Structure 1
Amino acid sequence: MTDDELGAERDRTLLLVDDDAPFVNRLARAMEKRGFEPQTAMSVAEGKAKAEMAPPAFAVVDLRLGDGSGLDVVEALRERRADCRIVVLTGYGAIATAVAAVKLGAVDYLAKPADADEIAKALLSRGEILPPPPENPMSADRVRWEHIQRVYEQCNRNISETARRLNMHRRTLQRILAKRSPR
């Protein structure tokens, strides 16, 4: 291990960004019991501000926040501290957003509900072990939804441009994006 990695292992500061107050408070208490020093933020703006003031060694960021995308917080964290180990946590899992999160610097992407043990393992793992393959393949509806999400991310989350590229009406696309992913 390099000196930077050893320093990161000793530094257990953790930023939790989620707009679900009861969840983020429970997670903060659970992560504190696991040796982390958590701070919480309830919005993109608050998360970015805390990342600017004191960039943490670890972060758990919800993808969808009330005032925007958690990916903006991931980007801010990565700019301020390159060695920050970030896990994106979401109830709206999609391949496109997972890829976008990893490209921005997240080390893992977990779907809610994830417990504190899973989150701690993801934060501390070095990624040597691949997860097992899925039990069930994706449905055709899910594949379509994933494709739409991928194009949406490639268009920098611009609905009009995504609709143009997919050759669909913008309002139809907005309705699809507002729904949860099919199973």
Structure 2
Amino acid sequence: MSVLVAIAITTGILSGIWGWVAVSLGLLSWAGFLGCTTYFASPKDGIKGLGLSIATNLSGVFWAMVIIHLSTMVGIEILGYVVTAVVAFLMCVQAKKSWLSFIPGTFIGSCATFAANGDWQLVIPSLIVGVLFGYSMKASGVWLQKKLSQPKEDFAVAELD
């Protein structure tokens, strides 16, 4: 079995579980899938990818709240667009820091916050748990592929342990 098929299997199973978890905990299932997407798209893998995904998603939530608050403070609509332009610039420039270098992760966190009408208290746990599910989907898929590709002799020995 290819790694892709193994990851597809575990992603399918864990996506169903995520849907249940999200509803059970009152989280935003779609925001969790955005967190999961951030992990899958991250240029880093493993724990580094996990940290990079969470850090950039959370920075995006922060920047969205800056835009929301500054835009509502000023009564002139055009200034809201100027605020958006300046903050979008800052969202990109922050990528100079390696732990914030995944710009799409920042924009995903920001977009999730806008889509949730600024409800950052709900967006943050949804994104974080989603990133954790993304990590689990990929890691379990890689594990499954390795397990299934072991020679039969190794399988027999592994079962005896």
**TM-score computed with the length of structure 1 as normaliser:** 0.27
Tell which structure's C-alpha radius of gyration is larger: 2
Higher relative contact order (CA 8 A, sep 6+): 2
The structure with the greater share of residues assigned to strand is 1
